[in-house]
Structure 1
Amino acid sequence: MGNLRFTEWQRLPISLTELCINTTLRCGQSFRWRKSGDDEWSCALHGRILSLRQDAEFLHYRAIFPSKPNHLLPSPPPSATPSAAESPSPEDDDTLALIEHYFNLRPNLGQLYEEWAEADLNFKKKAPKFTGVRILKQDAWEALVGFICSSNNNIARISQMVEKLCTNYGPLIGHLGKTPYHDFPPASALTDAKVEQHLRQLGFGYRAKYLYQTALMVHDKGETWLDGLRNPESPVLGAEPCSGGEFTDGGREGYRTAHEELLALQGVGPKVADCVCLMGLGWGEAVPVDTHVWQIAQRDYKFGKGKHSSLTKATYDAVANKFRGLWGKEAGWAHSVLFTADLKTFSERLVAKVEFKEEKIEVKEEEIEVKVEREDVGIISKTEEKVASKKVKREAEDEHQVVEAQGRTTKRTRRSRAR
């Protein structure tokens, strides 16, 4: 830690009803925050290690800067081409502005909860137990990568993948104790031809191809392309927001454009696109609908019958529109509160079964990968599948015959010994 410059602990007056970091940082928005001490969270963010603590009245924060920009990575693979994070000096410390931007502290959350509760009895019933859930304003590229990794995955394993990505391709900021903290790698760090194979070796499965191909596409479009899809009312750190109008069909055009642009990237379907729109681009009306949200829609909002009996594209749109009609311009935020409230119900069971679930996911990944490759390449015919099926069946029958023969031999041996 000798090469780090520690600022003093500062405090920002904010109640737990306006921001609860223990909930906000664990509800599946960002996957890089880790516990660095008792009730302390830390993350490498914008060229510094940011550490946070919270009590009932204050958010306590401290920035830890490298003494000079770090251009080196520990033993990087040949394919890594990381860019070093430029670290601001403590004299020009913009950490407070970063926190206010990152945690989206401008809106009055208590007032928003009241508005959502007035519009929806189910929200009124469940949300008061889960106050302080804020939608983060993350870097769009980090959100995109994180949610591509979220496909058929759980929060613990997504976090492991993102950590591996940062460790292998992101600039090292410093260590807290023995724990290294790496900032998030830019798209350019994932464009080498060897990246896909290396990510597969790191356990990314079929997502390795998506991450590599999407990095190429984003890099080719230019560093500012993703930020160009942002809600003008939610600009990047340091820029002034533009004034927005009412939430109308015409006002949604920017969100729809961003959503469609993201769908052109590899590994991005409607749900991933909406997650990036909501948590990376500032489009509050984006409502990601996964199987968990679909279960909430069935249980609490009378979906699941007639033409909406399964989660099709039409049902996805119907659920999202239902929530937008209920909660308005920040529907994605309100939906995330309910999503978090529902996650809490199952948290103990999820923790207890995490290893078992990960094993099952690995099997599913291989099945999905084979299926995707068949669809993309188109080389597996029905005849070939039948031949393969017969071969498996024949091998099973042969094995069964061997087992039977071994059984008969064992019986004869036993009778011979008995004589």
Structure 2
Amino acid sequence: MKVEEVHGGIIVYDIDMDLKNTFECGQCFRWNAEPDGSYTGVAFEKVLNISKIGDRVLYLKETSKHDFEAIWYNYFDMGNDYDAVAKALKGDRVLDRAIEMGKGLRILRQDPWECLVSFIISANNRIPQIKRVIENICRLYGNPVDYMGSTYYTFPGPDRIANLSEKVLRETKCGFRAKYIIEAARMVQNGFDLNSVYEMSINEARLKLKEIPGVGDKVADCILLFAYGKTQAFPVDVWIKRVLTDLYGFSKNNIDDIRRFVKEKFGDYAGYAQQYLFYYMREKAM
């Protein structure tokens, strides 16, 4: 990978990243497609427009080399060789097809607090509605950021949410999840250390996150994969259950049985497998 600072942004050469597959695979909710095929999103209190300008060439518009090194390099998991990941998973005819369809998909390293709230909101919810709720929360309680002539809003920290009433937060259309979001904010404000999860084993980390109201196995595994980069995590939802049942002939519905099957089949690459399979099954159904 080569990085070049140019007037107006950063160009990254020799990087395998498909924008649609990455931003529309269900792992993030603040990136939106532009008419020119680029995507604009907000992360870590920064706004970025990113476009593909050639095979394995990306243009990160109106950002600095400092922000690239401090934020975007890690956020886009650019230190990871996804060609090697695909090679390690190769050999399963189902997964081979999924990897081909999801080629260029990268697992983002999102902010743990934002990821926590986002996936609490995701429970029993569809992606367009999740995006609307998160945007409402950001517009009401985040900070404005001017970028390329438009105003965007950062994701509010727990201190901005903790003192809200459930009735007030429900104005964002988050419904019953308002109670969980407020309780999560108060837990973090009172010392629940989200950063400590980075150093924990997958099982310790899952149990830690499940102490937060509104966080069950699936939400915890999403946060572990999409914020903490714990690629042994394998979030299980209706799409993944369908993959395991229809494509792998797996008949058990117990989460412990599923985890044993996944660990044996995919090992430490389970999270990558999950994303390829999730995207593959969802795209086939659409």
Counterpart in the other structure of 2:3: none
The code of the aligned residue for 1:115 comes to A
Counterpart in the other structure of 1:13: 13
- Following TM superposition, by how much is the alpha carbon of 1:42 offset from its aligned partner in structure 2, in angstroms? 1.2
- Structure 2: give runs of 5+ residues left out of the alignment: 1-5
- Paired residues, what number? 280
3-state DSSP class of the match of 2:49?
strand
- With the length of structure 1 as denominator, give the TM-score of the two structures: 0.63
Q: Deviations over 1:146-178 (max 9, x none)?
A: 10010111111111111111111111112544x
The code of the aligned residue for 1:121 comes to R
Q: Deviations over 1:72-126 (max 9, x none)?
A: xxxxxxxxxxxxxxxxxx5x732244222011122211121111113x3321233
Which aligned segments of 4 or more residues in structure 1 are displaced greater than 6 angstroms? none
1:186 aligns with 2:157: yes
Alignment of 1:90-101 (within 5 A): 93-101=66-74
Alignment of 1:5-404 (within 5 A): 8-15=8-15, 18-54=16-52, 55-63=54-62, 93-118=66-91, 120-177=92-149, 179-194=150-165, 196-221=166-191, 225-230=193-198, 232=199, 254-304=201-251, 308=252, 311=253, 315-347=254-286
Q: Tell me which moved more, 37-46 or 260-269.
A: 37-46
Distance in 2 between residues matched to 1:303 and 1:319, nearest whole Å: 8
Distance in 2 between residues matched to 1:154 and 1:7, nearest whole Å: 39
Q: In the alignment, is the contact (CA less than 8 A) between 1:278 and 1:284 conserved in 2?
A: yes
Distance in 2 between residues matched to 1:297 and 1:150, nearest whole Å: 22
Q: In the alignment, is the contact (CA less than 8 A) between 2:50 and 2:60 conserved in 1?
A: yes
3-state DSSP class of the match of 1:93?
helix
- Following TM superposition, by how much is the alpha carbon of 1:316 offset from its aligned partner in structure 2, in angstroms? 1.6
- Following TM superposition, by how much is the alpha carbon of 1:295 offset from its aligned partner in structure 2, in angstroms? 0.8
Q: Deviations over 1:361-413 (max 9, x none)?
A: xxxxxxxxxxxxxxxxxxxxxxxxxxxxxxxxxxxxxxxxxxxxxxxxxxxxx
**RCO higher in 1 or 2 (8 Å CA, sep ≥ 6)?**
2
- Following TM superposition, by how much is the alpha carbon of 1:188 offset from its aligned partner in structure 2, in angstroms? 0.9
CA-atom RMSD in angstroms:
1.9
Q: In the alignment, is the contact (CA less than 8 A) between 1:9 and 1:62 conserved in 2?
A: yes
3-state DSSP class of the match of 2:39?
strand
Identity score, percent? 28
Counterpart in the other structure of 1:243: none
Change (3 A) 1:96 1:61: farther
The structure with more radius of gyration? 1
Q: In the alignment, is the contact (CA less than 8 A) between 1:14 and 1:58 conserved in 2?
A: yes
- Following TM superposition, by how much is the alpha carbon of 1:20 offset from its aligned partner in structure 2, in angstroms? 0.9
